[in-house]
Amino acid sequence: MNFHPITIKDIAKALGLSVSTVSKALRGSHEISQETKNNVLAYAREHNYKPNPIAQSLKRGRSKSIGVIVCNIDNNFFSQVINGIESVARQKDYNIIITQSRESYEREVTNSLHLSARSVDGMIVSLSAETRNVDHFANLYKKGLPIVFFDRVTDEIDTHKVIANNFKGAYEATRHLLEQGFRRIAHITSSLSLSITLERLQGYKQALTDAGLEPDQHYIKLCQHGGMIQEETRQALTELLQLEHRPDAIFTASDRLSTTTLSLLRQMKIAVPGEIALVGFTNSISADIFNPSLTAVVQPALEMGQQIMDLLIQLIESKRPVTSFEKRVLETELKIRDSSLHP
Amino acid sequence: MNFHPITIKDIAKALGLSVSTVSKALRGSHEISQETKNNVLAYAREHNYKPNPIAQSLKRGRSKSIGVIVCNIDNNFFSQVINGIESVARQKDYNIIITQSRESYEREVTNSLHLSARSVDGMIVSLSAETRNVDHFANLYKKGLPIVFFDRVTDEIDTHKVIANNFKGAYEATRHLLEQGFRRIAHITSSLSLSITLERLQGYKQALTDAGLEPDQHYIKLCQHGGMIQEETRQALTELLQLEHRPDAIFTASDRLSTTTLSLLRQMKIAVPGEIALVGFTNSISADIFNPSLTAVVQPALEMGQQIMDLLIQLIESKRPVTSFEKRVLETELKIRDSSLHP
DNA sequence: TTGTAGGCGTTATCAC
DNA sequence: GTGATAACGCCTACAA
């Protein structure tokens, strides 16, 4: 099962040169005569020579590959971000290695170790819902591995970050529900350890406050697993429905929570928006064919991916240590559909 | 930006041993004394020694990583397959590198080259809709790279393959529509160059024939880009609607085609299933919250992924050249929901 | 302008 | 039982 791709050594032998001459010629060094260069390049092209990236990695300590850790690729938001990352990576000749934490802290840790062991030149990370401690990233980062966080970020590591304007997105979603005349607006969200959870929760609360309403803890439900476990969401929803003053609207804070909640409401034969209106934070490309079509806070995922990769490449290719970091905040868009319209 | 993880050399120096002794001790060779082994292992554990996989790859010519090429990860079928692949890979300590062709032949070729250049030990491939020629894989395969094809496979390369029973899935979907009383059943599918297209088309036709109906070319629409380009699907649908005898049902052959068709029908204000019923080949986890909920041929994607990876590892780790190959065919499941019920 | 030598981290071979 | 040496493919001082 062995490949025998042509190597520098083969070229050297064929042309009666030394490997170093060939190596230099291939890289266009000006200490090599034009004639030799031409010969080498012609031979290389003809025999389809490709430098062995493994050997290059070993030698240079850089692999021209970057690792991505997200909770789940099976999610339009993340797959769109990845598409953005990939489009830039492709231009700059980086490979990306995608891994999933599936919201598990343990898998996040092992993935990060695997990737660093594979000498990725940098990492792009959105934290898992279970993660309370980011030492695994802090350690890598301290050793010099460039990391860019996005979406679910941490304050504990000072590096570039790219997020959506979660506060404003949540604020607008909630205000929209208020404008539609809903008053008892519940919020189903993920683990409080996630930055997005806090930011969206703040936006939700602020909108209520600005409308003269008091946020009510009973209307706020946390799902530690971010909707990955349907039973957890069912439990949250059931509790909301059993409240003395049942909510007349729900604002869900993530893709999976939104679809799961809608699915559960339908199973429970609760009319949406008739009995309960719904707005979700989601990039689902199918939101318009949901029943009812789902009003959604949409993030500019593709653009986020591009900016993330731009920033990471900046870190990787910077000659001198980078000391000043930015947190880019991209605006969301509220797509109003049927699920939030007042009956 | 350099890591300085501990190496065998460091251990050797610290313990006053030679690198080769340390190397052997770490691998538990029996030509090393128990005492030395203990010392080395203790030191390694204490200093968190991890062998450098890049160096191992270079030395061994194997990288313990495998490349995956699919058209799109933003698709429940493929992301579920990938989860299956990953679960086995994780157990067997393989890394997977996921790439997307986005239905482009050119990207498929470059991805395959990138992956082979990165010395993946094997590849898992589902062909792009544009692909007419599989020389890029045949060449790698001839040079000894193990490849397993799934879903969209080719007859031109003799290796393991894993597919769903597309014929039967399509047959059952069509028969279901017939049983519901529909008679003018259209079929929207992808490029004829894809194996799944042909298999599903055959199943569709056979079901019609078995019901005493003559398949009609006008009712069969091909979308070369597999639904990635909405305009193409719109065109196909429009043509169907302009037929003298407009179809009363549509069977769509892929995930993206199904959601796009449903979305377009809704835009066109055509009642589903009232005016036109719909059955789709899809693994979308949201099919039950579509409007209407979508009757679907579902593939055992997770299990497919596991079997694919099992087969690939078999190929990779086989001591002697494998000469007999299998094509595993897994059964689909028809999930009947609202979109196909006779009004 | 070209070549030699050494090293990246690991492992296999062979000698001690 | 242990160690020296060479090799995987590439790169880069430094020497010629």
Q: Which single residue is written with the structure tokens 């909920």?
A: B293
What would the two tokens of residue B31 be? 């030509």
Given a contact cutoff of 8 angstroms between Cβ atoms, the answer to whether A162 and A148 are in contact is yes
Q: Give DSSP secondary structure letters for A104-167.
A: -HHHHHHHHHHHHHTT-SEEEE---TT----HHHHHHHHTT--EEEESS--SSS-S-EEEE-HH
Cα-only R_g, chain B: 25
CA atoms within 13 A on the CB side of B149: 23
- CB pairs under 8 A, 24+ apart, for B201-204? B201/B170, B201/B253, B202/B167, B202/B170, B203/B166, B203/B167, B203/B168, B203/B169, B203/B170, B203/B171, B203/B172, B203/B173, B203/B174, B204/B170, B204/B171, B204/B173, B204/B174, B204/B251
State the nucleotide closest to B32 in CA–C1' terms: D1
Residues in chain B within 8 Å Cβ distance of A2: 61, 144
Q: Tell me: the pLDDT tens digits for B5-60?
A: 789 999 999 999 999 999 999 988 888 999 999 999 999 999 988 888 889 988 88
- pLDDT beyond 70 at A203: yes
Percentages (nearest 5) of helix, strand, coil residues in chain A: 45, 15, 40
The residue lying closest to nucleotide D13, measuring its CA against C1', is A20
What would the two tokens of residue A136 be? 């695994």
Q: Which residues contact A291 (CB under 8 A, 6 or more apart)?
A: A266, B289, B290, B291, B292, B293
- pLDDT beyond 70 at A177: yes
Q: Tell me: the pLDDT tens digits for B126-155?
A: 999 999 999 999 999 988 899 999 999 999
Q: Which single residue is written with the structure tokens 């199973």?
A: A267
What's the one-letter identity of residue A234?
Answer: R
Q: Where does the pLDDT of residue A29 fall: very low under 50, low under 70, confident under 90, or very high at 90 and above?
A: confident
State the nucleotide closest to B20 in CA–C1' terms: D3
pLDDT for the residue B66: 92
State the nucleotide closest to B22 in CA–C1' terms: D2
| Percentage, residues of chain A above pLDDT 90 | 73
pLDDT for the residue B220: 98
Distance CA B40, CA B21 (A): 9
- pLDDT beyond 50 at A40: yes
Task: Name the residues in A26-85 having a C-beta closer than 7 Å to nucleic acid strand D.
Answer: 26-27, 51-52, 55-56, 58-60
Torsion of CA A155, A156, A160, A166, to 10 degrees: -20
Alpha-helical (H) ranges within B47-156 are: 53-60, 76-91, 105-117, 135-142
Query: pTM of this prediction?
Result: 0.88
A65 vs B221, higher pLDDT? B221
A82 part of contact set with chain B, CB < 8 Å: yes
pLDDT for the residue B2: 43
- Smallest CA–CA separation between B213 and chain A, in Å? 32
CA atoms within 13 A on the CB side of B93: 6
E strands in chain B:
65-70, 95-100, 122-125, 147-150, 161-164, 185-189, 220-222, 249-252, 277-281, 295-298, 327-330, 333-335
Interface residue of A85, A118, A263, A289 to substitute, partner B, most B CBs within 10 Å? A289
Residues in chain A within 8 Å Cβ distance of B339: none
Q: How many CB pairs lie under 8 A apart between chains A and B? A: 128
- Sheet with A147-150, edge to edge strand ranges: A95-100, A65-70, A122-125, A147-150, A161-164, A327-330
The three-state DSSP-derived secondary structure of A264-330 is HHHHCCCCCCCCCEEEEECCCCCHHHECCCCEEEECCHHHHHHHHHHHHHHHHHCCCCCCCCCEEEE
Q: Which residues contact B321 (CB under 8 A, 6 or more apart)?
A: none
Q: Where does the pLDDT of residue A1 fall: very low under 50, low under 70, confident under 90, or very high at 90 and above?
A: very low
What would the two tokens of residue A31 be? 């200490």
Q: Which nucleotides of D are covered by protein (CB under 7 A)?
A: 1-13
Over chain B (343 residues), the average pLDDT of each successive run of 10 is: 74 91 91 91 91 89 90 91 93 88 93 84 95 94 92 97 98 98 97 96 98 97 89 96 96 95 95 96 94 96 98 88 93 97 84
Distance CA A111, CA A247 (A): 40
Closest by Cα among A277, A190, A285 to A229: A190
Closest by Cα among B74, B14, B8 to A98: B74
Q: Where does the pLDDT of residue A4 fall: very low under 50, low under 70, confident under 90, or very high at 90 and above?
A: low
Closest by Cα among B3, B19, B88 to B54: B3
- pLDDT beyond 60 at A3: no
Distance CA A229, CA B106 (A): 39
Calculate the CA A223 to chain-centre distance: 20
A positions 152-191 inside 8 Å of B (CB): none
B positions 224-283 inside 8 Å of A (CB): 259, 262-263, 266
pLDDT for the residue B143: 83
Distance CA A76, CA A255 (A): 8
B305 part of contact set with chain A, CB < 8 Å: no
B42 part of contact set with chain A, CB < 8 Å: no
Residues in chain A within 8 Å Cβ distance of B292: 291
